[in-house]
Amino acid sequence: MNRKETKQLRGVIMLVAATMIWGTSFVFQSRGNELTGPLTFNLLRCLTAAVSTGLMLKIYPDHTVLKKDHSVIAGIISGTITFFMTTLLQLGMAMGSPVGKAGFLVSTTVIIVPVLGVLAGRKQSAKTWAAVAVTAAGMYLLCSSDSSGFAFSDILILLSALASALQILALNHYRDSIRSVRVSFLQFLTAAVLSLISVILFERPVSIGSFVLTALQPAVILAVLYAGVLASGLAYNLQIESQKVLDPAAVSVLLCFESVFSALAGFLFLHELLSVRELSGCVLIFLAAVLSQLPAEKLLARFPGSHRMQMKAR
């Protein structure tokens, strides 16, 4: 295994670890919604993440030599997107989307990334569009019912997935000119400032004292520490670091494993069960996410006669 392959393997391990943390964090986010307002919980989460990554930045300063350092602009852009991504997800779960369902809806990021690539002028294969169609069918089974279409909470989570896709592309754009921990710190500091504004405007806490008392509840502290330190501070830093060696397509397909961990966490800790119809939708979304990234040409090359078929096509 050469140096490049070793770095890529390390990137894969880091990103899978991040998806496991994120998938499990849905349980804590759901619990946080029961104890505080969704915007307040998001503020506490982002503040905690900013403090933890700020300490990491102080203890382990990054002295990487860069030709151009775009960490500040990347952190602000990513932080703005992170605010919308986490807020939409938190609101969607507060409005009733179960943990497992939310996780699978978020995994549609893997399809949104190549679709956004089309808008940027990149051509996509028939395989990608087939995966989009399968995902649409999966979402219909997962989110619709006999009496109504998509719930508003489902739409909010899909918008969160769109924001996640935009964040992947933004970080990829600056991948060679950023310092991971610095970007992570600025990202959560920006998200925390925007979250504070949203709390003042929409949740209007009675007083600073009541806000502090809410934040100091043991259950709230546990949920905030997990979502803020592990799911935000650590996991997002792992994502940023892994994106330095992995391309966006590989990142997006690995991120879909978050849905598996969220479904398992919802079942183990919250005893959530999905209907056969909803499970079928989950399976379709997951398969579409994985299949959309399989190297079709390499797979075809394994079959006898495929080389001749490719030559004829040319």
> In which domain, by residue range, is 294 found?
3-313
In contact, 146 and 49? CB cutoff 8 Å: no
Write down the pLDDT at residue 40. 92
Please give the tally of structural domains in the chain: 1
Mean pLDDT, the chain cut into blocks of 10 residues (314 residues total): 83 90 90 88 93 89 82 95 95 88 84 80 75 80 64 92 91 87 93 95 81 87 91 84 79 76 86 83 81 58 48 38
In contact, 108 and 135? CB cutoff 8 Å: yes
Write down the pLDDT at residue 314. 37
Does pTM top 0.85 for this prediction?
A: no
Write down the pLDDT at residue 304. 52
CA-CA distance, 289 to 257, in Å (whole number)? Answer: 9
Nearest one of 291, 270, 294 to 100, comparing CA atoms:
270
